[in-house]
Structure 1
Amino acid sequence: MLDFPNWQNWIEKPSSIIKKLRQKLDQMVGVEIKLAEARSGPPTGMALNLEIRGEDFNQMSEAVEEIKQKIKNIPGLVDLTDDFDRSRPELKVIIDRDKASRLGLRARDIANTVRTAFNGKKVSVFRDGTEEYDIWVQLDQSFRSNQSDLSSLFIYTPSGEPVRLSEIARVDSGPSYGSIRHVDTVRTITISADAFRMPGPVLVMKTKQVLNKLDLPQGVTYQFTGEDENRKESQIFIGQALIIAILLILVVMVAQFNSIALPLIVISSVLMSVMGVIIGLIVHDRPFGIIMTGVGTVALAGIVVNNAIVMLDYVIKLRKKGYQRNEAMILAAAVRFRPVVLTAVTTVLGLVPIAIGMDIDFSRESIILFGAASASFWKSMALAIMYGLGVTTLLTLFLLPALYSLVEGGKERLRGLFSSKEIVY
């Protein structure tokens, strides 16, 4: 692990150093090396986690190699690997059941003898006062070091007659799978990779584009898991939270204003705030992080409706005092301009330290620093609230009165239309 304590004096950023190290270390053969920059926020897995599922390991292995060859050239994809262990040597004891049965030997007896000889078996416990020591039986290392030792192993029949293993079985050697991983009872090989200077969702999207062009063997399927799966779960949660927040706001305002149209006008400010969030992320070239940007958007919904409620509530009070519609809107915008703007400005200024990565180093006599790497996780939330609130504040003062005028004008025209009709009996 490399630590860069005085980050304000960096000549190169850690990402640049990692890139140079990766170029040099990738030349090493037979060694798997992963390089990653420390991330702020909750721990997450690798940006790309792709599970290849099926029943035939040969087909799955071919599919894994084909996929890795296709996606390895995606710009920004690094540390491409999989968890398929292909090269573990294995010795197989193939029993001749006819010969074994004639000697009264069962497969279980032969397996137990081989296991005891090579792996050992606990047969008793030696006690010395309060101490206990396990007693294991196992062949000496010199008698279990190669394949011929296994073939020469004596197996004792029920009558006590020794028989060499080679007389009742043959020993084959060959490669085997180091492990067989299952997910939901289905054989699975996982391909993993990380993203370098690229948002994880972008890497997943590019990988999906490559996979859509591949013709995988029949019975082999794939599924994106890991960070992508967590992102989808967070997206659903944030979406549900935003919908619940809007519904609760609507219920309260319908009860307060005794109207459905006015609460919908207020909720329109939430849509305006989303425009501001998108503008802020585009200006600062930030991805839409589901967690922090989503949390910022939900928090923003509660802030922006406050300004809209203040504005409309004052318009309604002026209308009750006898002011005309347009006159009431202009006066309300003028009177509420200062509190609405001051509320937005104080909120935005309070988030500026997070947005610019402001930090105080108490170990160096409270020196104020800017651009702290630890602030990057919170930056998306701060930008979402700052830009969303800024755009909504401006639109609230101009667009909200216009929407109110349209709604009220429509109501007045409808009332005039119905009141002008005569009822004839």
Structure 2
Amino acid sequence: MAKIDRATSLFAVNRYDRKRAVTAKCDVIENPDTDKIFAQLREEILPSLGFRPANESAVSFMDMAFIGTVGTPSEGLRAEFTGESEETAKNMNYLTASMMIAVILIFAILVYQFSSFRQACIVMLTVPLSFVGVVAGMFISDFPFSLATFIGLVSLTGIVVNDAIVVVDFINQGRKRGLKVRDAIIEAGINRLRPVMLTTATTIGGLLPLFLNLSGGAEFWQPLTGAVIFGLAFATILTLLVIPVAYSLAYFNADKKAAAAA
């Protein structure tokens, strides 16, 4: 009536987002760099198996889903990164949105404080300058651009504008006293140099123990503090140079207009 054979089969059908799924796991070497592992999966291993990014664009570190190419053994299959990589991508998107909101709010506060769009834009120049310092600092320290680094980047957005606010406000005070733009900029550079440098030094000094990991156990916080330290140091140096130049360019004819109005 029947024939019974022993065979190996699935003992359970696992699903992910209501679709049949198989979870692939593997062991890695000690102290792995997850960014390099996922980059190798995206750029080498998955393409060699016939997968391509689902968004049809160039492969980037934000690609989370791949689909099988027609005519390959992977046709009809879909590969997605889950676990740590999935959570990291979600957090990156959340932090990116938070940074955009923070930049908009900071800009609105600066416009209200200075009653000038030009001066608000001058102060906001320090934000991209700090990003250059973060990239250089991560390269020098050999830290990956991880989630902790991005958190430091978001925090840095609200920190680096402080020095520029001090400089621009002092220039405005000098102009109210009747100084020309050039003289007000020179006076601000001389009188605000020490406060700006001391503010930066004290902030960096407070973060150094975490960055150097003197007591151990602060590996997660090192990229975060490194982003703040290098970004703040780089932005401070350029603030003392770029902000006065930007102010002079924005108000290059302000003295002539004031004289004509008088």
SS in 1 for 2:24: strand
Aligned letter for 2:246?
L
CA distance in 1, matches of 2:40, 2:255: 54
Aligned letter for 1:404?
Y
CA distance in 1, matches of 2:37, 2:253: 50
CA distance in 1, matches of 2:175, 2:26: 62
Q: TM-score, normalised by structure 2?
A: 0.83
CA distance in 2, matches of 1:194, 1:276: 35
Give runs of ≥4 in structure 1 deviating > 4 Å.
410-413
Q: How does 1:389-400 map to 2 (within 5 A)?
A: 389-400=232-243
Give the 3 Å change call, closer, same or farther, for CA 195–296 of structure 1 in structure 2: farther
CA distance in 2, matches of 1:412, 1:214: 68
CA distance in 2, matches of 1:170, 1:230: 49
Q: Give the drift of 1:397.
A: 0.8
Q: Give the drift of 1:190.
A: 1.4
Question: Structure 1 residue 199 and structure 2 residue 33: aligned?
Answer: yes
Q: Give the drift of 1:324.
A: 0.9
CA distance in 1, matches of 2:74, 2:152: 44
Q: Please give the per-residue CA displacement for 1:333-371, whole angstroms capped at 9, x wherever unaligned.
A: 110111110000011111111111122xxxxxxxxxxxx
Question: Structure 1 residue 234 and structure 2 residue 69: aligned?
Answer: no
Q: Which of the two has higher C-alpha Rg?
A: 1
SS in 2 for 1:409: coil
Query: In the alignment, what sits opposite 1:299?
Result: 155
CA distance in 1, matches of 2:96, 2:254: 33
Query: In the alignment, what sits opposite 1:213?
Result: 48
Q: Give the drift of 1:189.
A: 1.1
Aligned letter for 1:201?
D
Q: Give the drift of 1:175.
A: 2.2
> How many residues end up aligned between the 2 structures?
235
CA distance in 2, matches of 1:217, 1:242: 38
Give aligned-pair identity as a percent: 33
Q: Give the drift of 1:198.
A: 4.0
* Alpha-carbon RMSD: 2.0
SS in 2 for 1:175: coil
Query: In the alignment, what sits opposite 2:188?
Result: 332
Greater helix content: 2
CA distance in 1, matches of 2:173, 2:94: 38
Greater strand content: 1
Partner residue of 1:264 out of 121, 125, 128: 121
Question: Structure 1 residue 176 and structure 2 residue 32: aligned?
Answer: no
Aligned letter for 2:96?
G
Give the 3 Å change call, closer, same or farther, for CA 412–204 of structure 1 in structure 2: farther
Aligned letter for 2:252?
G
Structure 2 unaligned blocks of 5 or more: 51-72
Q: Give the drift of 1:266.
A: 0.7
Query: In the alignment, what sits opposite 1:363?
Result: none
CA distance in 1, matches of 2:191, 2:7: 86
Aligned letter for 1:339?
P
